[in-house]
């Protein structure tokens, strides 16, 4: 009888230990509503990602969203520990500006007669792909680059036309043919009167 009591006591202690251990273990791995451990910090853009607007949150600090600090700087929030977040002032790369809490490529073609200019990356003096006007672009990468004539002398020459675009690197070029009876003169397609002597035509050929 005494042996049975001893065995039952030992079994009871073991069962109690297992129950308590399982409860503590369950508390240690308890998860929050979003799947993160309770008390953890989360960042929707994965860290210091300046090209995506992100949101950080933690139970102790609340939440914050990446935001612009001027035209080309970003307040980037990120987790620096399992339970806390902080922020850093990060500059956007050349050719990028800050918009809606992220660094984005900002390119706008601007005509020289425009009263307002919003582009800081690329400007085009002739307003775009205009083969009838001698133009040039100005960019951070290239400086000032002029349109130019291409092809052999005579009618139906072509113009290498530079223009601004939204895709990287912010500018491009295209070969545009001059219409019939037009010559490329001084980097633009100019109408040529067939009654005029061809000796009066000065062409720029590359």
Q: What is the DSSP string of 16-41?
A: HHHHHHHHHHHHHT-B-TTSSBTT--
- What span, in angstroms and rounded, lies between the C-alpha atoms of 97 and 107? 9
Distance of CA 17 to the CA centre of its chain: 57
Rounded-to-10 torsion of CA 172, 177, 182, 183:
70
Rounded-to-10 torsion of CA 193, 198, 202, 206:
100
- What span, in angstroms and rounded, lies between the C-alpha atoms of 4 and 2? 5
> What is the structure's pLDDT at 28?
37
Q: For the chain, what is the mean pLDDT?
A: 74
Lowest mean pLDDT among 38-47, 103-112, 180-189: 103-112
Q: Is the pLDDT of residue 162 over 50?
A: yes
> What is the structure's pLDDT at 114?
40
> What is the structure's pLDDT at 202?
46
Q: What is the pTM of this model?
A: 0.38
28-70 tens-digit pLDDT: 334 443 334 456 999 999 888 888 999 999 999 999 999 999 8
What ranges do the domains of the chain cover?
A: 42-104, 107-200
- Strand order across the 122-124 sheet: 122-124, 136-139, 143-146
Residue % of the chain over a pLDDT of 70: 65
> What is the structure's pLDDT at 86?
95
> What is the structure's pLDDT at 168?
72
> What is the structure's pLDDT at 20?
57
- The better pLDDT of the pair 117, 98 is held by 98
């Amino acid at each position: 009888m005494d042996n049975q009591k001893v065995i039952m006591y030992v079994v009871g202690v073991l069962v109690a230990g297992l129950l308590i251990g399982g409860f503590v273990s369950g508390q240690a791995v308890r998860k929050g509503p979003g799947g993160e451990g309770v008390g953890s910090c989360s960042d929707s853009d994965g860290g210091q990602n300046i090209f995506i607007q992100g949101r950080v949150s933690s139970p102790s600090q609340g939440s914050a969203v990446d935001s612009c600090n001027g035209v080309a700087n970003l307040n980037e929030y990120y987790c620096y520990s399992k339970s806390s977040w902080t922020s850093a002032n990060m500059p956007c790369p050349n050719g990028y500006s800050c918009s809606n809490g992220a660094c984005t490529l900002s390119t706008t073609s601007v005509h020289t007669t425009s009263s307002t200019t919003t582009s800081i990356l690329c400007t085009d003096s002739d307003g775009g792909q205009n083969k009838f006007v001698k133009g040039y672009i100005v960019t951070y990468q290239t400086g000032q680059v002029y349109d130019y004539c291409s092809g052999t002398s005579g009618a139906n020459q072509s113009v290498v036309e530079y223009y601004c675009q939204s895709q990287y690197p912010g500018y491009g070029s295209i070969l545009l043919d001059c219409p019939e009876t037009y010559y490329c003169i001084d980097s633009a397609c100019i109408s040529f009167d067939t009654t005029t002597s061809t000796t009066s035509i000065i062409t720029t050929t590359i």
